[in-house]
Amino acid sequence: MAGVTTLGDLASAIGVRTEESVVIAELKAGSEDAYAWLIGQFHQPIYGLIYRIVNDPSDAADTTQDVFLKVFRGMKHFHGESSLKTWIYRIALHEAANRRRWWFRHKAQEMQIEPVETVEGQFSGEERLVDPGESPLEQFAHTEVRAAVEQALQQVPEPYRTALILRDLEEMSYEEIAEVLAISLGTVKSRITRGRAALRKKLAGYVREAGLELGLVLPAREIEVTP
């Protein structure tokens, strides 16, 4: 396939949506450079997305591997009905949902509390949120807030939680979310609005208790007035 022979060329090609077909052609042809680019581009965000759904680092790593196996095997059937990104995210959400259902059926009794390990080439949520130039106290505050948000997010019911993850954590556009979830733009906006409201409600008690110490402010409408 002429025109795309190096990772640099691949990165340049993918930057323009109209040239995405060039990269897809390389993937279909079995280009090792194309697959190396694909993993480098999507592995970390896909792992992060799946982890927030299955809430277990080992399961997230295994599921991420399954996603890329399905991408590699299914590439010949990909005809560009959606963008490459939304197609991969759709597969990831499907695999994560399957893993979560399996977990509730077979593994719930084995749950144990253990720290989240960072797999080589991946970034934990803590690393992405903490500024290395901050003081230890500031880093602790960010870590505590992140943990509280992640815990509250797990309690937001579906389908609002997935829409919230895609919008506020994965920073996808409303149009991309609609494409990934195969729903209308209006439904996307509704789910995000309801998801944010549910998350705010889950976090209200935490903000009241820890807000002054961590510099958090509860919106006026959430403050309960006591007589």
Q: What is the mean pLDDT of residues 52-73?
A: 91
- Identify the weakest region by mean pLDDT among 13-27, 97-111, 130-144: 130-144
- Identify the weakest region by mean pLDDT among 80-84, 110-114, 132-136, 197-201: 110-114
Q: What is the mean pLDDT of residues 168-174?
A: 90
Q: What is the mean pLDDT of residues 174-181?
A: 94
Higher pLDDT, 85 or 22: 85
Higher pLDDT, 153 or 108: 153
Split at pLDDT 50, 70, 90, the class of 11 is: low
Split at pLDDT 50, 70, 90, the class of 102 is: low
Matching CATH number, 39-105+131-216, of 1.10.10.10, 3.90.1150.10, 1.10.760.10, 1.10.357.10: 1.10.10.10
- Position 146 scores a pLDDT of 73
Residue 84, Cβ neighbours under 10 Å: how many?
A: 21
| pLDDT > 60? residue 93 | yes
Mean pLDDT of the chain: 75
| pLDDT > 90? residue 110 | no
Tokens at 83, concatenated: 């963008």
Q: What is the mean pLDDT of residues 152-173?
A: 90
| pLDDT > 80? residue 221 | no
Instruction: Tell me if the pTM is above 0.85.
Output: no
| pLDDT > 70? residue 220 | no
Q: What is the mean pLDDT of residues 164-176?
A: 91
